Structure 1
Amino acid sequence: MSSYPPDGPPQTTLRQRLADLRGPAVPPRPLDARALAALAANPGCGRRALLDGAGVDKTALAAALGSPAAFGQSQFAIVRGNSFEARVKGDGGAELLRLTHARLGGGAEPPGPDSRVPDLTAAGPEGRAARTALALREATAAGTWTLLDHPMLALEVAGTPAYLEPDAVVVHPDGRWTVVEIKSFPMIDGAADAAKVGAAARQAAVYVLALEQTAGKLEGAEVGHQVLLVCPKDFSNLPAAALVDVRRERAVTRRQLERLTRVEELADGLPQGLCFDPARPAAELTEAVSAVSAAYAPECLAACELAFHCRERARDAGEPAALGRSVRSELGGLATVEAALAAAAGAETGPGTGPDSDPTAAALREAARLRAEALASAAARPPYQAPETPECPC
């Protein structure tokens, strides 16, 4: 239980606690939409929630633990993506606004010379978020096409604010707000890779949630549930646009983020002096990371920098989740792989797990019996001999 009053800890105290966790001299690593989408996919992992909330650089931490993960884009892909985005937003965003009107214009007049691209520069993420909120308010009141280039949005996650930066947000004359995602993967014959589109949809859903918090404070503002995905057309550098409905991703992400344990609750349960500074010895970091509960699953390998470290620990502990979430759910009360193997062999693994009391153990024994029969049948068959190939008469 937290020792703070019901209205929560003083913000300065929480910030100092999080700074101590990542290291006093280590700057915080800001959360982005990709990290939030991955966090929402595994809300039961307190380890990731705490490290992300404290701003710990998980890439550097994984390298210091001896289990580095190969994440990130190549330099060539980054340069290509930046070049394509600059082309899409060139000439005051005229092409991007044209694509938005073509896909989502409805009965509105097409963007003209009166379209605006406000300046969103300000000091720090808090200042940029406030400047973005003001620009959204002004654009909604003005009733003209407005392009916000790299706005800053604020979203509270597990009790701490996260500042997110979408590629663009377009304000329609009728007050609708549309999130724009610009990606460098191609759209061939009007369709893009389904896995990449799905990842972009989950990322855009986080931006939609952040925009909805701002729109709720403004009269006449509405956040569209369709985002505009802009990609290179076929194998050229010309932009093509498609609409992606993110209502399902938004609902899932919102529900999962609401399930996250608040960061201060996770921090209160840790020993004093715990620190995740990558400059500390590997043995000390291993002990610190082990103090925070994790919920590893094979899906983490594609989304978390600490996945290889957590996988090794899960295997050492014999956790069934290392084989997949479906395996863990099928095993029920059998908490380890060793317990499952013992149950398959007919041994009692604890109170109430006798031969006739646990249906999971009975199913494992039946599976083991069928496997043994199949192996015995295969061993009894004579070895396969390939037919002789007749010699060629020519």
Structure 2
Amino acid sequence: MNKAALAGALGSPSAFGQSQFALTRGNAFEAKVKADGGAELLRLVHERLDPAAPPPAGAAVPDLSAIGPEGRTARTALALREAAAAAAEAADAGGAGGWTLLDHPMIALDVAGSPAFLEPDAVVVHPDGSWTVVEIKSFPMLDGAADPAKVGAAARQAAVYVLALEEVAARLEPSPRVRHRVLLVCPKDFSNLPTASAVDVRKQRAVTLRQLARLTRIQEIADALPDGVCFSPELPAEQLTQAVEAVPAAYAPECLAACELAFHCRERSRAAGAVTSLGRSVRAELGGLSTVEDVLAATRGEAGDPRDPAVAALRRAAELRREALGSMCP
């Protein structure tokens, strides 16, 4: 389901998206890194990850174009298989294979029973047949170090690509090795010159693998929906709103950073007076008081069990507020 299109049809379009300036700058930097058949990119991979291998002169750059994501995924798998086979043949002959650069390959990862199509910036096949994920980012490395938060986000993203590549490798015989150290390429200091750092994503890979294993299967979610529910953005707004509201939602401010439907759910949450709109931590502190009206009534002593710690705390806070305001009056 395209949640961005759904949010627009509901009248609450998402505000996600990168600025045009950032996109242009990022695209220009990536083009610079991959210029001349990826010569600079392969040099960085060789220098940071595989200095013992032969220098990457005349690397292969296969054409990965195909129709649709399924076609591109199949074409990428074929290119990876051919590169791994060439490396194996070279090893059997007592020599070293060549380097292969896959520019914007497409790989699929099973997420809760449905394929998610992923597009890394690049995947490099080493002369020994192993595979490395390359992430190209436009944030700078200053004195050899980048913003830890941004590096962490890039590592989590690359870990997902590693998992997807492992699924591809598992279908090959012999199974190539997917390296758990990825290459992060960024501008050096305040210039547009590329520099790189090897990032170990084993921890992020393990966390992502556990999260994927705990996901509810999509078929189970679909089976729990009321009969006849449809989320097509082409439906009339009233019918579409009824369909979306048939699915329980628990809005929290954190949703604004991760979900295209957050603005729609925030509007509904505020209209219902749900305390979750104030944050999950506030909701946890209030116990069984689930609406703002319930909280105010408990504070005024009109409702709620005085033995409830949340109710007692609210009434004590109201009393302190009255005392403070009273002391300020002449």
TM-score (norm 1): 0.73
Structure 2, unmatched stretches of 5+, are 88-96
Contact 1:69/1:305 (8 A) holds in 2: yes
- Structure 1 position 284 matched with structure 2 position 202: no
- Structure 1 position 210 matched with structure 2 position 210: no
Aligned mates of 1:151, 1:289 — CA distance in 2: 35
Aligned mates of 1:245, 1:300 — CA distance in 2: 29
Structure 2 counterpart of 1:135: 79
The within-5 A match list for 1:105-116 is 105-113=50-58, 115-116=59-60
Structure 1 counterpart of 2:138: 184
The within-5 A match list for 1:58-97 is 58-97=3-42
Aligned mates of 2:146, 2:290 — CA distance in 1: 41
* 1:252 counterpart letter in structure 2: V
Shift of 1:250: 2.8
- Structure 1 position 123 matched with structure 2 position 73: no
How large is the RMSD of aligned CA atoms in angstroms?
2.5
Contact 1:148/1:170 (8 A) holds in 2: yes
* 2:289 counterpart letter in structure 1: L
Shift of 1:263: 2.0
Structure 2 counterpart of 1:24: none
Aligned mates of 1:182, 1:130 — CA distance in 2: 24
Structure 1 counterpart of 2:120: 166
- Structure 1 position 363 matched with structure 2 position 313: yes
Shift of 1:255: 2.8
Aligned mates of 1:253, 1:345 — CA distance in 2: 46
Worse overlay, 291-300 or 339-348: 339-348
Structure 2 counterpart of 1:198: 152
Shift of 1:307: 1.1
The residue matched to 2:115 in structure 1 has which SS?
A: strand
Contact 1:178/1:226 (8 A) holds in 2: yes
Contact 1:296/1:311 (8 A) holds in 2: yes
Structure 1 counterpart of 2:205: 250
Aligned mates of 1:225, 1:340 — CA distance in 2: 50
Aligned mates of 1:156, 1:373 — CA distance in 2: 59
Aligned mates of 1:272, 1:165 — CA distance in 2: 35
Worse overlay, 215-224 or 297-306: 215-224
The within-5 A match list for 1:376-387 is 376-377=326-327, 379-380=328-329
Q: 1:343 to 1:83 in 2, by over 3 A?
A: same
Aligned mates of 2:289, 2:44 — CA distance in 1: 55
Q: 1:296 to 1:197 in 2, by over 3 A?
A: farther
Structure 1, unmatched stretches of 5+, are 1-54, 383-394
Aligned mates of 2:6, 2:124 — CA distance in 1: 38
Aligned mates of 1:208, 1:161 — CA distance in 2: 15
Q: 1:121 to 1:376 in 2, by over 3 A?
A: same
The residue matched to 2:270 in structure 1 has which SS?
A: helix
Aligned mates of 2:183, 2:322 — CA distance in 1: 55
Contact 1:175/1:220 (8 A) holds in 2: no
Structure 2 counterpart of 1:330: 285
Aligned mates of 2:210, 2:181 — CA distance in 1: 19
Shift of 1:168: 0.5
Structure 2 counterpart of 1:231: 186
Structure 1 counterpart of 2:90: none
Residues 214-254 of structure 1: per-residue CA shift (max 9 Å, x gap): 23334352323332221222332211212333333333333
Structure 2 counterpart of 1:305: 260
Shift of 1:322: 1.6
- Structure 1 position 340 matched with structure 2 position 285: no
* 1:196 counterpart letter in structure 2: K
Residues 82-130 of structure 1: per-residue CA shift (max 9 Å, x gap): 22212111111111111112211153333233x3222223333223222
Shift of 1:154: 0.9
Q: 1:335 to 1:164 in 2, by over 3 A?
A: same
Q: Percent identity?
A: 72
- Structure 1 position 267 matched with structure 2 position 222: yes
In the alignment of these two chains, the number of paired residues is: 319
Aligned mates of 1:151, 1:102 — CA distance in 2: 23
Structure 2 counterpart of 1:221: 176
Residues 335-379 of structure 1: per-residue CA shift (max 9 Å, x gap): 333333334444554xxxx322x33333333444444444444x2
Residues 302-333 of structure 1: per-residue CA shift (max 9 Å, x gap): 22221111111112223232222222233333
Q: 1:98 to 1:374 in 2, by over 3 A?
A: farther
* 1:69 counterpart letter in structure 2: S
Shift of 1:277: 2.9
Aligned mates of 1:250, 1:374 — CA distance in 2: 53
Aligned mates of 1:271, 1:162 — CA distance in 2: 25
Q: 1:291 to 1:181 in 2, by over 3 A?
A: same
Shift of 1:206: 1.8
